[in-house]
Amino acid sequence: MAVVGEPVEATLDNTTSKTDTSASAALQPKKVFMRTYGCQMNVYDSDRMTDVLGPEGFTTTENMEDADLVILNTCHIREKAAEKVYSELGRIRKVKEERARQGKEMMIGVAGCVAQAEGEEISRRAPIVDLVIGPQSYHQLPKLLKTARDGTKVVETEFDIDAKFKHLSERAARPPLKRAPSAFLTVQEGCDKFCTFCVVPYTRGAEVSRSVEQIVTEAEQMAVAGVREITLLGQNVNGWHGAGPDGNSWGLGRLLYRLSEIDGLDRLRYTTSHPRDMDDELIQAHRDLKTLMPYLHLPVQSGSDSILASMNRKHTRDEYFRLIDRIREAAPDIALSCDFIVGFPGETDQDFQDTMNLIRRVEFGSAFSFKYSQRPGTPGALMDNQVDEDIKSARLAELQELVAQQQTAFNASRINMTFGVLFERKGRMPGQIVGKSPWLQPVQVDASEDLIGTIQPVEILEIGRNSLFGQLKPGHHDVVGQ
């Protein structure tokens, strides 16, 4: 799976875990501290883990020292990911020891892709860990937690994605709770592409797609709960092929047409995509659907045909160019985002310049770029001609400078435009609220908090490094974004 952004660390907000059950009130209140690393899929999984813990009497806390349960939901994409987890566990151990001196319990869990990759090794190297949970097993968290509390170390890393999807469907059938205006919805997990730099096929398994009925039911419940924008998630989301109500297999384009019919659901997005799976129907959806936002994250990783072949990407730079031309013909105002890896084994100066030329040719609104790092168990880690670290760093700096120039130019092109902004939260400054443009840029406006959860027309007046700044335009026609 291409990482959508720099792996980030996020502590879940208390609003994600409130569960309206009479059983919760009867239980002794407990607190869970959830730390999430990595992509949107992990954020979604952390939310669902918090959901299943709600009926067990847990509420979330942003203070680890107050937590009865600490869960690290980990990412294995970046270099030395496992070592960073062990380092964090060393810090948590001190907190657990201090709570023990106060007569308080603290259980510790490691979830996500590092848990899947390391398994029993985590329990061996970090005895303070009570349970290790792979990304397909979080729906079993209450049962596993009980086992761990009884004194048995738990390592659950089986690939039972069908059971996970069944759990998501059962959860969607419950009465909806109030939700934030923007939310993620997993439609597909796993990957069959086996890019030589990537661990996802080994930590998330083969591609599996949820059915249309499961996805639509959950999306409808989200809309009833106040969600205005849904981002469909998958390691290879445009490879989704789910069972449709007509008995046929649907593609992502057809699913988007169906989701666009849901009342109250005003915006749709999806991530992360692979160039090989951008079919005609999906491109047509970008042309036809006002609810499908004019933004597409479509990783290419390299602009060199020889490196693309070595990465096992199964497309060429020319095929990528032709695909971009088709997408822009269908949706001229679309903003393109991308992932790039510099310093892949064997990358020459000319290979790198091919990547730079691709960036100049396509012109991206944003991009995420990384130095290649060897992931244990992947073919790339065993390749000859590993690139010197200093060369990687120099190439990355040059590439990021070019991308930053393109991002600034794209943001500047929004000045004096008026478009719909979905407001999601309070800003850092008093009286400020922050929303999201159709092109996924943060937009900051001085306005009432009462507008959070609504889509309002905003005229852009200036830009910052990553954000747009504007003013409300009451009564102005919302040309994009409803």
Last residue of a domain, one of 158, 193, 220: 158
Are 440 and 389 in the same domain? no
Please tell me whether residues 357 and 245 are part of one structural domain: yes
**Average pLDDT value for residue range 93-119:** 90
What's the burial of 234, exposed, middle or buried (CB within 10 Å: 0-12/13-18/19+)? buried
- Hey, which residues does 301 pair with through a beta bridge? 340
Mean of the pLDDT values across residues 337-346?
A: 98
> Chain-wide mean pLDDT for the chain?
88
Which tokens go with 66?
Answer: 């107050």
- Per the model's pLDDT, the better-predicted residue between 3 and 191 turns out to be 191
In a domain, 192, yes or no: yes
Residue 108 has pLDDT above 90, yes or no: yes
* DSSP code per residue over 97-108: HHHHHTT---EE
171 occurs within a structural domain: no
Name the percent of the chain in helix, strand, coil, to the closest 5.
40, 25, 40
pLDDT, tens only, 180-227: 999 999 999 889 999 999 988 887 788 999 999 999 999 999 999 999
pLDDT of 389 reads 96
- Are 332 and 282 contained in the same domain? yes
User: What's the CATH code of the domain at 463?
Assistant: 2.40.50.140
For residue 267 the two structure tokens come to 């915006």
Domain that holds residue 233: 179-412
Name the band, by pLDDT with cuts 50, 70 and 90, for residue 114.
confident
Q: How many domains does the chain have?
A: 3
Residue 345 maps to a domain: yes
Strand extents, DSSP E, 253-297 = 267-271, 295-297
Condensed to tens digits (0 to 9), the pLDDT of residues 10-38 reads 333 333 333 343 343 345 689 999 998 87
Of 412, 432, 464, at which residue does a domain stop? 412
- Residue 388 in any domain: the answer is yes
pLDDT in tens, 285-329: 999 999 999 999 999 999 999 999 999 999 999 999 999 999 999
Q: Is residue 153 part of a domain?
A: yes
Whether 377 and 466 map to the same domain: the answer is no
338 labeled binding residue: no
Identify whether residues 223 and 122 lie together within a single domain. no
Choose the final residue of a domain: 363, 396, 412: 412
Q: What is the pLDDT of residues 32-74, one digit of tens each?
A: 999 988 777 788 888 888 888 988 899 999 999 999 999 999 8
Are residues 458 and 359 both part of a single domain? no
Q: How many helices (H) and strands (E) does the chain have?
A: 15, 22
Position 13 scores a pLDDT of 37
Which of 19-23, 32-36, 280-284, 421-425 is the least confident region?
19-23
**Whose CA is closest to 119, among 85, 80, 70, 92?**
85
Task: Return the CATH number at 144.
Answer: 3.40.50.12160
Stated as kind and residue range, the H or E segment containing 354 is helix 349-362
- 83 and 219 co-located in one domain: no
pLDDT in tens, 371-405: 999 887 899 999 999 999 999 999 999 999 999 99
The 10s digit of each residue's pLDDT in 457-481 is 999 999 988 899 999 997 654 444 4
pLDDT attached to residue 170: 59
Residues 6+ positions from 38 with CB-CB distance below 8 Å: 3, 7, 8, 73, 74, 75, 77, 112, 113
Contact between residue 253 and residue 270 where contact means Cβ atoms under 8 Å apart: no
Question: Would residue 113 count as lying in a domain?
Answer: yes
More confident residue, 444 or 11: 444
Return the pLDDT at 479: 42
Classify 119 in phi/psi space as left (phi over 0), alpha (psi -120 to 50) or beta.
Answer: left
Q: pLDDT tens for residues 223-260?
A: 999 999 999 999 899 999 999 999 999 999 999 999 99
- The answer to the question of residue 1 being in a domain is no
Instruction: With respect to residue 82, please indicate whether it lies within any of the assigned structural domains.
Output: yes
pLDDT of residue 169: 55
Domain harbouring 405, CATH code: 3.80.30.20
How confident is the model at residue 38, as a pLDDT? 74
Rounded to an integer, the average pLDDT of 267-276 is: 96
In which element (H, E) is residue 416 found?
Answer: none
Question: Which pLDDT score is estimated for 162?
Answer: 60
What pLDDT is stored for residue 47 in this prediction?
A: 85
Residue 280 pLDDT:
97
- The confidence score (pLDDT) of residue 201 equals 86
175/118: higher pLDDT: 118
pLDDT of residue 98 exceeding 60, the answer is: yes
pLDDT at 439: 98
In sequence order, the 6+-apart residues with CB closer than 8 A to the CB of 389 are 343, 371
